[in-house]
Amino acid sequence: MVHTGFSTTLARYVGRAFTLTTILTLCALTGLISLFDFIDLLRRAAAHPEAGIQPVLHIAALHIPYYSLYILPFAVLLGGMICFSRLARSSELVVTRAAGLSVWQLLLSPSLCAALLGAFMSAALSPLSSASYRHAVALEAQWLQGPTPQPRTLFTDLWLRSSDNIPGLGGDIIFHIGTLHQQNTVLIAQQLTIFRLDRAMNLLERIEAPEGTLSHGYWNIHNALTLSNTRMPHTPHDLTLPSDFTPKILNRRAIPADTLSLWALPHIIKLLHHSGFSTIPYQLHFQGLLALPMLAVTMVLVAAGFSIRPAGRGGIARMLGIGVTAGFTLFAVSKIAEQLGKSGALPPLPAAWAPAGIGLCLAAALLLHLEDG
């Protein structure tokens, strides 16, 4: 009698083979990229005789977690195709199908392993990638770029938002600053226009001032002219406004989104959004990290759709080539969606999740066609 139930032994066997092949493929791809990165660092180090081989090796090693995180979908795709094609060549897939097991039962454990691997990379490796990449940037500035560049201290045409802590108002204060200069922990602003809003976002007053300073959580505005609908304009005077904006927020605005970890992104997104800065790149990267397990499962189904063909039918090389092309096409679509998200044409959520979701549906449709004709 044919047994068509779910086999935990088969699931462990296929899952173990898939995971091992994927990890080895990930190591191979990361090693190849790291080799080219090391060669490029050596080329740059040739212009700096004081930079020996040790700093170059250190920087290249610090780049490894960053590259591993972004090469994972391709490692899952290639690792899955290698694993499934090997099972097809050894007729193990034929035996499992003859035993009455469907392709969905066969792919359950690889899909679960891919999802867990993607979740591990997003949750555990992204903090390591973030820390190591920032350290690598500091080492590059020290050894490969001459003197350490000074951080940016001059900003122009800024829009900021802060909470209004005056009792009874509880609204927001919107700042437009023509020029903002940072001196240590003090921010010096020129050409200020300030809008005070209540909780219902109604304009209470407008303040014009030639200059002001931010220190210890307060704006000290000099020669301010206050305009309001309820009273005549005040003569220029000095005033103090509370602010939760700090130089630290200004510096974090310059941090590239893809160098931040999954756990650091929500706080930075909230911080920048509250201060009035655009958070689209950070939201895109955050949603991309959340979607990584789904993208890994999509790559498993794509790999299976183009590699579970029995070896006796021929055309294996052509199908594998088409599968690799499909994977790179999915990557290109995801990058196009990312650029649309950064431009504001797409919200961050669909820009990050739509490519993986569409690819998952198309791969599932291909497997349904192969399974049921």
Within 13 Å of residue 130, how many CA atoms lie on the same side as its CB?
A: 21
Q: Are 130 and 264 in contact (CB under 8 A)?
A: yes
- Residue 232 or 112, more confident: 112
Enter the tokens of residue 183: 């001196």
Give the residue-averaged pLDDT of 9-37: 94
Q: How far apart are CA 207 and CA 223, in angstroms?
A: 10
Rounded average pLDDT over 68-86: 92
pLDDT of 80 > 50? The answer is yes
- Distance between CA atoms of residues 209 and 41, nearest Å: 49
Last residue of a domain, one of 247, 266, 297: 247
Residue 1 has pLDDT above 60, yes or no: no
Question: Does residue 263 or residue 1 have the better pLDDT?
Answer: 263
Distance CA 245, CA 254 (A): 15
Last residue of a domain, one of 204, 226, 247: 247
Whether the per-residue pLDDT at 228 is higher than 60: the answer is yes
In a domain, 2, yes or no: no
Residue 316 has a pLDDT of: 67
Mention every residue, 6+ apart, whose C-beta is less than 8 A from residue 53: none
Is residue 139 domain-resident? yes
Count of beta carbons in the 10 Å neighbourhood of residue 330: 23
Q: Could you tell me what percent of the chain has a pLDDT over 70?
A: 91
Q: Is the pLDDT assigned to residue 351 strictly greater than 60?
A: yes
* Tokens encoding 87: 């099972």
Model-level pTM?
0.82
Instruction: Give the pLDDT of residue 2.
Output: 46
Residue 99 and residue 122 in one domain: yes
Number of domains in the chain: 2
Domain assignment of residue 265, yes or no: no
Mean pLDDT on 352-362: 92
Q: What gap in Å lies between CA 221 and CA 215, rounded to an integer?
A: 11
Q: Is residue 273 part of a domain?
A: no
Same domain, 207 and 314: no
Residue-averaged pLDDT of the chain = 85
Give the pLDDT of residue 20. Answer: 96
- 115 or 48: whose pLDDT is higher? 115
Residue 73 has pLDDT above 90, yes or no: yes
pLDDT at 67 over 70: yes
Q: Considering the domain boundaries, does residue 262 fall inside one?
A: no
Same-domain check for residues 159 and 71: no
Question: Could you tell me if 91 and 166 lie in one domain?
Answer: no
101-110, 161-170, 291-300, 356-365: range with lowest mean pLDDT: 161-170
Q: Are residues 95 and 172 in the same domain?
A: no
Residues 175 and 116 in one domain: no
- Examine residue 104 and state whether it is found in any structural domain, yes or no: yes
pLDDT of residue 57: 93
Give the model's pLDDT for residue 63.
94
Q: Are residues 27 and 131 in the same domain?
A: yes
Over residues 223-231, the mean pLDDT reads 84
pLDDT above 70: residue 220: yes
- Grade residue 169 by pLDDT with cuts at 50, 70 and 90: low
Helices and strands: H and E segment counts in the chain: 11, 6
Structural domain boundaries enclosing 205:
154-247
- Tens digits of per-residue pLDDT, 275-321? 777 889 999 999 999 999 999 999 999 999 888 766 555 566 777 78
Render pLDDT for 93-138 as a digit per residue (tens, 0 to 9): 778 877 778 888 889 999 999 999 999 999 999 999 999 998 998 8
Q: pLDDT higher for 259 or 316? A: 259
Please give the structure tokens belonging to residue 52. Answer: 């020996």
Has residue 315 been placed in a domain? yes
Q: Are residues 140 and 285 in the same domain?
A: yes
What is the secondary structure of 156-199 as a DSSP string?
A: EEEEEEEE--STTT--EEEEEEEEEEEETTEEEEEEEEEEEE-T
Residue 269 belongs to a domain: no
Residues 201 and 230 in one domain: yes
Q: Which residue has the higher pLDDT, 271 or 22?
A: 22
Per-residue pLDDT tens over the stretch 136-152:
988 888 888 755 445 55
Question: 28 and 70: one domain?
Answer: yes
**In this structure, are 24 and 131 located in the same domain?**
yes
Same domain (yes/no): 109, 194: no
Residue 373 has pLDDT above 60, yes or no: no
